[in-house]
Amino acid sequence: MADDASTISALVDQLLDEFDPRTAPPVELRGRQFDLRLAWVSFPEGSRGRGLPPGLQRLVDDRLAAAGATPGPRQSPGDELLTW
C-alpha cells in the first residue's frame, strides 16, 4: 500500500501543480481529478478508478481540502444524475 500511496500522492501533486483549488473553476478542477482517476480510486480500472484500497481516497480528499478545494459532487462532470 505504501507504493500505492506514493503513486496517489504524486498524482495529487500533479493536480495541484496544474490547478490552485482556491481559484480554479470547480468544474475544471473536478474534471481533471476524474481524468487522473482520483475521484474514485477504489473503483475498478476501466470504471474511472484505479482499483486501489478505498482508504486511499481519504488521502486525495484530505490533500485537496488542505489546499482549499471545496467538496464537490461525486459524479463526473458532464454525467447526468441518475434518478431511481
The residue extents of the domains of the chain are: 2-66
Quickly state the pLDDT bin for 14 (edges 50, 70, 90): very high
User: From its phi and psi, is residue 37 left (phi > 0), alpha (psi between -120 and 50) or beta?
Assistant: left
**What count of other Cβ atoms lies within 10 Å of the Cβ of residue 53?**
12
Q: Name the more confident of 82 and 76.
A: 76
pLDDT digit string (tens) for 20-79?
A: 999 999 999 999 999 999 999 999 998 889 999 999 999 999 999 999 998 765 555 555
Q: Looking at the predicted structure, is the pLDDT value of residue 83 above 80? A: no
- The answer to whether the pTM exceeds 0.75 is yes
**For position 71, what pLDDT does the model report?**
75
Residue from 34, 7, 27 nearest 69 by CA: 27
